[in-house]
Amino acid sequence: MLADPAPFLRALFDRAVEVADPMRSLAGHLPPRPAGRVVVVGAGKASARMAEAVEAAWGPCEGLVLTRYGYGRPCQGIEIVEAAHPVPDAAGLAATARLLALLEGLGEGDFVLALISGGASALLVAPVEGVTLAEKQAVNAALLASGAPIDRMNTVRKHLSRVKGGQLAAAAHPARMQVLLISDVPGDDPAFIGSGPTVGDASTPADALAVLDQWQIDVPASVRACLRAGSGVVPPGDARLARVTNHIYAAPIQSLTAAAEIARAAGCRVQMLGDALEGEARDVAQAQAQEALALRETLRPGDAPVLLLSGGELTVTRRGDGIGGPNAEFALALALALQGAPSIHAIACDTDGVDGAAEVAGALISPSTLAQAQAAGLDAAQALARNDAHSFFAGIGGQVVTGPTLTNVNDFRAVLILPPA
């Protein structure tokens, strides 16, 4: 049983992605199509697929949705615009302006369906007055390299935007708005999915400045000046949000549960470590390595294999000049911590198919990972020090490459501990 762990682990990941595919899961959460004018807007890595699912149920719709380059889908009426992620670009800036214009002048009898998924923070680009696109790009890049948790990064993004922090919903007032969200954030708080464009937020510009200070994030002076001047973030309870309903219909726990079902059917004992893990990728890897090694010592021949499953969103504080992402860095740090320990295999991937800024979902490791690297002339410790995990796994054929998955429920990690033969 489980004689070849790599395909088994990949099948678990593929199942996690499949469960979160909007074409499989969205229709059951749609209301009947309202009478009168219906406008569909959205942003995120899964938003085009979500729009495709909406039109499969409702037929052609008026609207505009932004997604990442390569993540577009054919729609009948909804316009799909592709833009840059994770650092915004001019295409996102222009499309966001058009999206906001589409919401102008709506009345109480109109209905807006908003489709939001992870990635919307970078794709919805409408900087506050006084901040240029280039400055917004610099801030985003600095945030991504800082190691700050996603909720802290999004606090800064909200107060530098005219569309995040409830401002998209406010732009549609007084129309009724139904929001469908796919969660990619630990804790599944809609205020942090895509920086909460349809959710009121109680944070202040002072909180955003505190994030910049705490994580020593270098930003242009104009950015600090704008934050000191205030922002348009909409507070909870604002009258413009009274006709807005936010509903998370797909979340990481559903994908982890589906993977766990497959693992149990294959005879594994599953330990769920949580769907909301946060922290430095290499630190979490160290902790999971210790847990896996301790479990291996308890297993005897004939015992059931043990599978450690976890989700959430890990971070990387960029120290080197390599090419990496949180999942690949987790896998590399895990391999180093395990030091070739027999019978332990793992996969770590982002369910959107993009780990960091690379077109790679993540990586697989086995007890032979470090030996393979040595034979290929690669230094695993040096690769970790340089944040160069993607290059490392490319050199030993350990990358997981999916292409666009058209969904996004964040990280997927599975560590398999086999009993001794």
pLDDT tens, position by position, 193-223: 999 999 999 999 999 999 999 999 999 999 9
What backbone torsions phi and psi does residue 114 show, to the nearest 5 degrees?
Answer: -110, 135
81: domain CATH number is: 3.40.50.10180
Token pair of 333 as six digits: 């740090």
Classify residue 24: in a domain, yes or no.
no
What is residue 403's predicted lDDT score, i.e. its pLDDT? 95
Query: pLDDT digits over 358-372, tens only?
Result: 899 999 999 999 999
Residues 72 and 197 in one domain: yes
Q: 203, 224, 250 — which closes off a domain?
A: 250
- Which residue has tokens 């993004």? 157
The alpha-helical segments, DSSP class H, found in 147-280 are 150-159, 167-172, 205-214, 221-229, 252-265
Domains: count for the chain = 2
Instruction: Residue 402: give the domain boundaries.
Output: 5-16+253-417
What end-to-end distance do the CA atoms of the chain give, in Å? 11
Classify residue 25: in a domain, yes or no.
no
Cross-sheet strand order for the sheet of 176-182: 79-83, 62-68, 38-43, 111-116, 176-182, 244-250
- Cα–Cα distance for residue pair 37/249, rounded to 1 Å: 24
- Cα–Cα distance for residue pair 362/14, rounded to 1 Å: 12
Report, in angstroms and rounded to the nearest whole number, the Rg of the chain calculated over CA atoms.
Answer: 22
403 burial level (CB within 10 Å; 0-12, 13-18, 19+): exposed
- Cα–Cα distance for residue pair 308/413, rounded to 1 Å: 8
Q: What is the mean pLDDT of each run of 10 residues along the chain (421 residues)?
A: 89 98 96 96 98 98 97 97 94 98 96 97 95 93 89 93 98 98 94 96 96 94 94 96 97 97 98 96 98 98 97 93 96 98 97 92 98 98 98 98 96 97 86
Residues 285 and 389 in one domain: yes
Residues 238 and 163 in one domain: yes
Residues 11 and 52 in one domain: no
In whole angstroms, how far apart are CA 183 and each of 276, 348, 409? 11, 18, 6
275: domain CATH number is: 3.40.1480.10
Residues 108 and 63 in one domain: yes
| DSSP assigned state of 121 | H
Element (H, E) at 304: none
Query: pLDDT digits over 131-180, tens only?
Result: 999 999 999 889 988 989 888 998 999 999 999 999 999 999 999 999 99
Cβ atoms of 375 and 416 closer than 8 Å = no
Classify residue 97: in a domain, yes or no.
yes
Q: 218, 250, 282 — which closes off a domain?
A: 250
Residues 240 and 359 in one domain: no
In whole angstroms, how far apart are CA 301 and each of 289, 387, 418? 21, 38, 9
| DSSP assigned state of 272 | E
Residues 319 and 196 in one domain: no
Token pair of 410 as six digits: 């964040």
Cis peptide before 235 (omega within 30 of 0): no
The alpha-helical segments, DSSP class H, found in 175-247 are 205-214, 221-229
Classify residue 166: in a domain, yes or no.
yes
Q: 205, 227, 250 — which closes off a domain?
A: 250
What is residue 421's predicted lDDT score, i.e. its pLDDT? 86
- Percentage of the chain lying above the pLDDT 90 cut: 95
What is residue 3's predicted lDDT score, i.e. its pLDDT? 81
Cβ atoms of 175 and 40 closer than 8 Å = no
